[in-house]
Amino acid sequence: MKTSFTSLLALAAVATALPSSESSHAKRACSSAVSLDASTNVFKSYTLHPNSFYRAEVEAAAAQISDSTLAAKAKKVADVGSFLWLDTIANIDKLKKEVAAGVPCNNILGLVIYDLPGRDCAAKASNGELAVGELNKYKTQYIDPIVSIIKANPNTAFALIIEPDSLPNLVTNANVAACQASASGYREGVAYALKSLNLKNVVMYIDAGHGGWLGWNDNLKPGAQELANAYKNAGSPSQFRGISTNIAGWNSWDAEPGEFASDPDAQYNAAQNEKKYVTLFGAALASAGMPNHAIVDTGRNGVIGLREEWGHWCNVNGAGFGVRPTSNTGLELADAFVWGKPGGESDGTSDTSATRYDSFCGMSDAYKPSPEAGSWNQDYFVKLLQNAKPSF
Ligand code: BGC
């Protein structure tokens, strides 16, 4: 990942001066080993941890905002729990720093496991560091070190999102050569991650795309089968809870009619919002023999009706922060609304000359200019804040 100036500042801030709220958090860390029961909704008893990496990004962003009212609102974003993306081997350091800073006993640290060989096979913006075939490196230099850190911190609770987009791509993009080449590595890599990370202080969710992806009537069954195979190949791990949906996505939780309900194609997709998707796909998962509870990303879905097409995914223009993490979803199958994508980090560059330029990031509904995926986009952060619903 391209390291922006802001993220260097952010790292320095974490290393040198932990905010006082963080050091007092450290004092309230659990005094005994955490044991999570994945047959229950752990988000009922744990709050998603506002990690210090996103806190530092947001505080640096707030410091750049001259309007004091808006800057004060920006600072509040730092207190929102969100997932920490371990998107490279080097970024496993973020996890080390976070556990060293201390996670309060009633908080759960959210991590995104995201470094499969041949990552992002149907797009370009998030192509990763490992090439197809580097599965051994994925296992020994990426998954195993994360396992060691989690084992070394038995008093901390962890919620994991496993490999966004990977298995959904195998279901719907099997005609893409890069996805064909990646398929066996994805399947074995995801099963290895699920098996190795099956630790008492962990609860795991495997990524299931969103309603506009595996939600198509014809995709529900093959999608559920693909995910259930991974779960079974991992030995049906006890700490496995279900799926993550809408990660880095834009879909509404319960808009009626759904955002794309008037499209002629809508007749082929009954999952017109994420609530319907979690329900329909959840039923397909149950039939396929897999735990089916869900967490849903509401980080950037505050405003809907912005995309020209359902499949548009890059830096959607006009978006706003959505509902804050909560276990009050109103649907038993949905454990929690979470912030998966850290709002303010880009989905992909709009620089047409970049190696990872993806045409979706140049579409008319994509915000431009935007930096490389994962890098901070100050202007976009400000717009998410101004358009936040509920507001800050
Ligand atoms: C990027 C990652 C980044 C993540 C969260 C992904 O699109 O590829 O590098 O960590 O988004 O911002």
Q: Is the CB of 115 under 6 A from ligand 1?
A: no
What does pTM read for this prediction? 0.93
pLDDT on residue 99: 97
- Residue with the bigger pLDDT between 324 and 23: it is 324
Ligand 1 center to 228 CA (angstroms): 26
> What's the rounded Cα separation, in Å, for the pair 332 and 108?
20
Place 28 in a pLDDT band, splitting at 50, 70 and 90: confident
Q: Which helix (H) or strand (E) holds 161?
A: strand 157-162
Q: Is the CB of 70 under 6 A from ligand 1?
A: no
Backbone angles phi, psi at 110, to 5 degrees: -90, 130
* Amino acid at residue number 82: S
User: 116, 184 in Cβ contact below 8 A?
Assistant: no
User: Of all protein residues, whose CA lies closest to atom 5 belonging to ligand 1?
Assistant: 374
* Amino acid at residue number 129: E
In this structure, whether the domain defined by 5-386 belongs to CATH 3.40.50.360 is answered with no
Q: Is the CB of 117 under 6 A from ligand 1?
A: no
Task: Report the mean per-residue pLDDT for the chain.
Answer: 94
- Nearest Cα neighbor of 99 from 148, 138, 132 is 148
pLDDT on residue 353: 98
Ligand 1 center to 226 CA (angstroms): 24
| Least confident window among 24-38, 269-283, 301-315, 358-372 | 24-38
Q: Is the CB of 86 under 6 A from ligand 1?
A: no
- Mutation probe of ligand 1 site: the residue of 11, 51, 114 with most atoms within 8 A of C-beta: 114
pLDDT on residue 13: 39
Q: Residues annotated in the binding site for substrate, as ranges?
A: 85, 87, 210, 213, 313, 341, 345
Is the pLDDT at 26 greater than 90? The verdict is: no
Ligand 1 center to 163 CA (angstroms): 11
Q: Cis omega (within 30 of 0) on the bond before 371? A: no
> What's the rounded Cα separation, in Å, for the pair 221 and 233?
18
User: 251, 212 in Cβ contact below 8 A?
Assistant: yes
Q: Which of 115, 120, 207, 297 is catalytic?
A: 120
Burial (0-12, 13-18, 19+ Cβ within 10 Å), 70 = middle
pLDDT on residue 5: 35
Is the pLDDT at 23 greater than 70? The verdict is: no
Place 24 in a pLDDT band, splitting at 50, 70 and 90: very low
pLDDT tens readout for residues 132-149: 999 999 999 999 999 999
297: annotated active-site residue: no
- When pLDDT is averaged across residues 64-71 and rounded to a whole number, the result is 98
Q: Is the CB of 1 under 6 A from ligand 1?
A: yes
Q: Cis omega (within 30 of 0) on the bond before 369? A: yes
Helices 177-196 and 217-233 pack at an angle, to 10 degrees, of 50
- Nearest Cα neighbor of 321 from 112, 73, 107 is 73
Ranges of each domain in the chain: 5-386
Ligand 1 atom closest to residue 348's alpha carbon, by position in its atom list: 7
User: Of all protein residues, whose CA lies closest to atom 4 belonging to ligand 1?
Assistant: 374
> What's the rounded Cα separation, in Å, for the pair 72 and 70?
5
Hunting for tokens 């880095």 — which residue is that? 248
- When pLDDT is averaged across residues 193-218 and rounded to a whole number, the result is 98
Q: Is the CB of 374 under 6 A from ligand 1?
A: yes
> What's the rounded Cα separation, in Å, for the pair 276 and 291?
17
120: annotated active-site residue: yes
Q: Which of 115, 297, 335, 347 is catalytic?
A: 347
pLDDT tens readout for residues 272-305: 999 999 999 999 999 999 999 999 999 999 999 9
Ligand 1 center to 87 CA (angstroms): 7
Place 2 in a pLDDT band, splitting at 50, 70 and 90: very low
pLDDT tens readout for residues 218-252: 999 999 999 999 999 999 999 999 999 999 999 99
Ligand 1 center to 361 CA (angstroms): 14
**Measured in Å, how far apart are the chain's first and last C-alpha atoms?**
30
358: annotated active-site residue: no
Ligand 1 center to 20 CA (angstroms): 28
Q: How many residues does the chain have?
A: 392
User: 268, 261 in Cβ contact below 8 A?
Assistant: no
pLDDT on residue 15: 38
- When pLDDT is averaged across residues 176-205 and rounded to a whole number, the result is 98
pLDDT on residue 6: 36
pLDDT tens readout for residues 316-369: 999 999 999 999 999 999 999 999 999 999 999 999 999 999 999 999 999 999
Cα separation values, 146 from 94, 109, 130, 200, 327, Å:
11, 13, 16, 14, 26
Q: Give me 1's structure tokens.
A: 């990942």
